[in-house]
């Protein structure tokens, strides 16, 4: 017998919170009991992306897509899978614009308008089974790199792809690899930054939960390119599911000979360990992250200092990239740099994964080519703002980023355009805000976050962000003073100029962008003691 239907049950964190683990076990048992387990395969997968509609179940090969599945629906779902069964219309996705049921996921605009490359197999392979990854061509890129390419050849391929670091700063990946390879020393490390401390972002988590081997394969290729012997995945302890899937994946990769001594019978040896970040936003900063692995407080090193590629973990050259950056590597090696560079804008190649959340109809994990217009992301994929409300702003880059106003919707989303607009790309959080969101409250919210997360080492950040927070707190309480806006500008300027690390240098961004684009809201709070969005408790 051959498999006729594959039932893909999403086991991302969102769907698990809706009970998809129990749904998976029940489906698997019931199909087995029915004696149809030879032609119906029930499979656990990572995040399908459309978390808001979860728990999700997809049935291949047709692509039937069930949303908001509950345990009570299971008997009917099982019936529908058995011979003579009919698909369950009531569980289809209902398009809020047309009110029609859409049976197949590839016809839903949320999916139709995306270009999923990093996420392509999240949601269709079992993340806890290496054979699934091997079946889709997994570890082929590693084999190709080791047997057909020199380390320099790998680096030059990555360089010509134009890939830039997807952790936020957008530094050219190939150049980073090159300088780490050229750094003197025999002992080198590769670290995957999967700390994802930005509130409102879950794209790294979803990649690790959905396709952990793609990150691991990318890391092994990087290690081959720079001649590293040991690597770490620095993952947040708040992501227990991602950590457990990575552990399983590392163990399986070891058993298959992709990790350990003499990988694929070559003289290249490399092994990986998981380090669980204990919760500090500042550890996204490379020098702080490295100190944290060394068992110290995660406080960034003071400038001037050598780059981490020259002096990183235990003072050895260390290559640090984001999880999504590594996940791109096997694609580049397999398909070539030209294939990769077809997507994206002139200076930002490839795709970007965003966590699309907030006041938007379709929340979830999406992937688009870099350079896509904000409008496309929010309206074509996100379905616009719910409840007929007006869009007010889009926040990118988390606490280091900024809020862009609705009239900038045609802006292209890439590293450089966002910086010009006063925000940053960041790791990929994209939070939509509507007319009921108060921009002063949002600025206060981010400054509260930044002052809590300041490591306390340098005064501009430790005291400056605290001062800014207090001023904003007063304004939102209706206790703002006429000179407050000037004072916020002045503080922002000195914090940006004199903080020692990226956290401090970008901490004022949420205030600066809201002042730039929504100054009238600040003025209404200060002068008229009124919150135009009706969020702040004034009086």
Partner 1 sequence: MHEELLEQILASYKGEKEELVPILQEVQENFGYLPEKTMLEIARFIGVPESHVYSVASFYAQFRLLPLGRKRVAVCRGTACHIRGAPQILNTIEQTIGLKEGETSEDLEYTLETVACIGCCALAPCVRINKEVSGEMNPGKAEKIFITNGNGSHDDN
Binding site for partner 1 (CB under 8 A): 13-14, 16-19, 22, 50-52, 54, 70-71, 196-202, 205, 237-240, 275-276, 278-281, 292-299, 355-359, 363-365, 395, 398, 429, 431, 433, 437, 442, 445-446, 449, 453, 455
Q: How far is the CB of 199 from partner 1 (least distance, A)?
A: 4
Burial class, 159, CB count within 10 angstroms (exposed 0-12 / middle 13-18 / buried 19+):
middle
297/305 with CB nearer partner 1: 297
Spatial separation of the C-alpha atoms in residues 434 and 423, rounded to whole Å? 18
Residue 380 is given by DSSP the state: I
Spatial separation of the C-alpha atoms in residues 109 and 116, rounded to whole Å? 13
Tracing tokens 């950590």 back to the chain, one arrives at 243
27/333 with CB nearer partner 1: 27
171/314 with CB nearer partner 1: 314
Q: How far is the CB of 439 from partner 1 (least distance, A)?
A: 11
Is 509 in contact with 460 (CB distance < 8 Å)?
no
3/237 with CB nearer partner 1: 237
Q: How far is the CB of 336 from partner 1 (least distance, A)?
A: 34
Is 259 in contact with 220 (CB distance < 8 Å)?
yes
Q: How far is the CB of 225 from partner 1 (least distance, A)?
A: 26
331/431 with CB nearer partner 1: 431
Spatial separation of the C-alpha atoms in residues 262 and 259, rounded to whole Å? 8
Q: How far is the CB of 361 from partner 1 (least distance, A)?
A: 11
Q: How far is the CB of 221 from partner 1 (least distance, A)?
A: 26
Burial class, 445, CB count within 10 angstroms (exposed 0-12 / middle 13-18 / buried 19+):
middle
The strand pairing partners of 315, in sequence order, are none
319-352 per-residue burial string, b: 16 or more CB within 10 A, e: under 16: bbbbbbbbbbbbbbbbeebeebbebbbeebbbbb
Q: How far is the CB of 445 from partner 1 (least distance, A)?
A: 5
Question: What is the DSSP track for 476-509?
Answer: HTT---TTHHHHHHHHHHHHHHH-SSHHHHHTTH
DSSP, collapsed to helix, strand or coil, labels residue 12 as: coil
Q: How far is the CB of 294 from partner 1 (least distance, A)?
A: 5
37/436 with CB nearer partner 1: 436
The total of other beta-carbon atoms located within 10 Å of residue 255's CB is 11
Tokens of residue 440, six digits: 């002063």
Q: How far is the CB of 278 from partner 1 (least distance, A)?
A: 4
∠ CA 164-348-418, rounded to 5°: 100
Q: What are phi and psi of 353, to 5 degrees?
A: -105, 130
Burial class, 46, CB count within 10 angstroms (exposed 0-12 / middle 13-18 / buried 19+):
buried
Q: How far is the CB of 335 from partner 1 (least distance, A)?
A: 30
Of 302, 288, 432, 408, the C-alpha closest to 359 is 432
DSSP, collapsed to helix, strand or coil, labels residue 61 as: coil
196/380 with CB nearer partner 1: 196
**Ramachandran class of 527: left when φ > 0, alpha when ψ lies in -120 to 50, beta otherwise:** alpha
130/536 with CB nearer partner 1: 536
Q: How far is the CB of 219 from partner 1 (least distance, A)?
A: 20
């Amino acid at each position: 017998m051959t498999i006729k239907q594959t039932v893909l049950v999403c086991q991302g964190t969102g769907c698990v919170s809706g009970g998809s683990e129990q749904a998976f076990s029940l489906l698997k048992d019931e199909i087995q009991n029915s004696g149809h387990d030879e032609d119906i395969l029930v499979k656990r997968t990572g995040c399908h992306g459309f978390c808001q509609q979860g728990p999700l179940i997809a049935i291949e090969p047709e692509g039937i897509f069930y949303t908001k599945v509950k345990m009570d629906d299971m008997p009917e779902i099982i019936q529908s899978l058995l011979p003579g069964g009919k698909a369950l219309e009531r569980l289809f996705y209902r398009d809020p614009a047309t009110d029609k049921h859409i049976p197949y996921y590839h016809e839903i605009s949320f999916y139709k308008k995306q270009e999923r490359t990093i996420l392509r197999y999240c949601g269709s392979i079992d993340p806890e089974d290496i054979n699934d990854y091997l079946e889709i061509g997994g570890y082929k890129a590693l084999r190709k790199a080791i047997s057909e390419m020199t380390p320099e050849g790998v680096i030059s391929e990555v360089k010509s792809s134009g890939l830039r670091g997807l952790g936020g700063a957008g530094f050219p990946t190939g150049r980073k690899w090159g300088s780490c390879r050229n750094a003197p020393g025999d002992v080198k490390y590769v670290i995957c930054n999967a700390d994802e401390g930005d509130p409102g972002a879950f794209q790294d988590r979803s990649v690790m939960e959905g396709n952990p081997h793609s990150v691991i394969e990318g890391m092994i290729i990087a290690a081959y390119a720079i001649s590293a012997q040991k690597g770490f995945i620095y993952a947040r302890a708040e992501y227990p599911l991602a950590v457990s899937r990575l552990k399983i994946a590392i163990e399986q990769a070891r058993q298959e000979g992709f990790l350990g001594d003499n990988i694929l019978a070559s003289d290249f040896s490399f092994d990986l360990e998981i380090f669980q970040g204990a919760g500090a936003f500042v550890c996204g900063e490379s020098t702080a992250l490295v100190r944290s692995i060394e068992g110290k407080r995660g406080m960034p090193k003071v400038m001037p200092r050598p780059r981490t590629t020259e002096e990183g973990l235990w003072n050895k050259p260390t290559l640090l990239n984001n999880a999504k950056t590594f996940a791109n590597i096997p694609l580049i090696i397999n398909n070539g740099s030209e294939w990769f560079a077809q997507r994206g804008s002139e200076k930002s190649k490839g795709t970007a994964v965003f966590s699309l959340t907030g006041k938007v109809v379709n929340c979830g994990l999406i992937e688009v080519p870099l350079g896509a217009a904000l409008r496309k992301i929010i309206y074509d994929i996100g379905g616009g703002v719910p409840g007929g409300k007006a869009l007010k702003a889009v926040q990118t880059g988390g606490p280091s980023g900024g809020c862009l106003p609705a009239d900038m919707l045609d802006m292209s989303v890439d590293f450089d355009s966002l910086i010009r607009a006063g925000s940053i790309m960041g790791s990929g959080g994209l939070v939509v805000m509507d007319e009921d969101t108060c921009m002063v409250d949002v600025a206060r919210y981010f400054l509260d976050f930044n002052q809590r997360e300041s490591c306390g080492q340098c005064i501009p950040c430790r005291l400056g962000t605290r001062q800014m927070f207090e001023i904003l707190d007063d304004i939102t309480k209706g206790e703002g003073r006429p000179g407050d806006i000037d004072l916020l500008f002045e503080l922002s300027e000195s914090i940006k100029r004199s903080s020692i690390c990226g956290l401090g240098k970008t901490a004022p961004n949420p205030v600066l962008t809201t002042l730039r684009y929504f100054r009238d809201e600040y003025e209404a709070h200060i002068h008229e003691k009124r919150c135009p969005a009706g969020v702040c408790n004034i009086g």
